[in-house]
Amino acid sequence: MITKDAEAPTVTSAPRTVLEAFGPRRPKKRQRSWDEVPRRQIYLPLGVYLVFTLIPFYWIALFALRPAGSTSLVPWPVTFEHFDKVWTERSFGTYFQNSVLIGVATLVMTTVVALAGGYALARFDFRLKRGFMLALLCSQFVPGALLLVPLFEIFANLEMINSLGSVIIAETVFQLPLSMILIGNFIKNVPPSLEEAAWVDGCSRFRAFCVVVLPLLRPGLIAVGSFAFVHSWNHFLFALMFLSDQGKQTIPVGLNTLMSADSVDLGALAAGGIVAAVPVVIVFAFIQKWLITGFSAGAVKG
Partner 1 sequence: MFSTRSTRSSRRRPTAGLALTAALALTATACGDDGSGSGGDKGAEGSGTGRITFWDNNGGVRTDIWKEIIADFEKKNPDIKVKYVSIPAESVQSKYDTAIQGGGLPDVGGVGAAMLAGIAAQGALEPLDKRLDGGPLAEKLSSSMVENVRAAGGGKELFTVPTSANNGTLWYRTDLFEAAGLDAPTTWPKFYEAAEKLTDKDDNKFGYTIRGGEGSIAQALDATYGQSGIASFWDGDKTTVNDPKNVEALEKYVALYKKSTPSADVNNDFKKMVAQWDSGDIGMLSHNLGSYQDHLKALGEGKFRGLPNPTTATGTRVQLSNPVDGLGLFKSSKKKAAAWKFIEYAASHEANSKWNESAGAIPSNTEAAKDKWVQDSEPTRLAAEALNDGDVKIVQLPYYLPDWNTISKADNEPNFQKVLLGRMSAKDFLDTLAEQLNEAQAEWKKRQQ
Q: Which residues bind partner 1 (CB under 8 A)?
A: 68-69, 71, 89-90, 109, 112-113, 116, 123-126, 145, 148-149, 152-153, 156, 158-166, 168-169, 192, 195, 204-206, 240-241, 244-246, 253, 256-266
How many Å is the maximal CA-CA distance in the chain?
Answer: 98
If the CB atoms of residues 164 and 276 are measured against partner 1, the closer one turns out to be 164
If the CB atoms of residues 7 and 125 are measured against partner 1, the closer one turns out to be 125
CB of 44 to partner 1, least distance (A): 28
CB of 261 to partner 1, least distance (A): 4
The answer to whether 175 touches 229, Cβ cutoff 8 Å, is no
For every residue of 62-107, DSSP letters joined together read: HHHHSPTT---SS--S---HHHHIIIIIT-HHHHHHHHHHHHHHHH
CB of 277 to partner 1, least distance (A): 19
Q: Which of 271, 282, 234 is nearest to 88 (CA)?
A: 271
CB of 296 to partner 1, least distance (A): 27
CB of 203 to partner 1, least distance (A): 10
Q: What is the CB-side half-sphere exposure of residue 64 using CA atoms within 13 A?
A: 19
If the CB atoms of residues 14 and 240 are measured against partner 1, the closer one turns out to be 240
DSSP letter at 66? S
Q: Which of 120, 220, 144, 233 is nearest to 179 (CA)?
A: 220
CB of 30 to partner 1, least distance (A): 48
If the CB atoms of residues 234 and 257 are measured against partner 1, the closer one turns out to be 257
Report the distance separating Cα 16 and Cα 48, nearest Å. 51
Report the distance separating Cα 94 and Cα 239, nearest Å. 14
If the CB atoms of residues 14 and 101 are measured against partner 1, the closer one turns out to be 101
Cα–Cα distance list, 97 to 155, 237, 241, 247, 268 (Å)? 22, 18, 19, 10, 19
Alpha carbon of residue 20 to chain centroid: 52
CB of 238 to partner 1, least distance (A): 11
Q: Which of 242, 245, 265, 244 is nearest to 255 (CA)?
A: 265
If the CB atoms of residues 258 and 297 are measured against partner 1, the closer one turns out to be 258
If the CB atoms of residues 34 and 126 are measured against partner 1, the closer one turns out to be 126
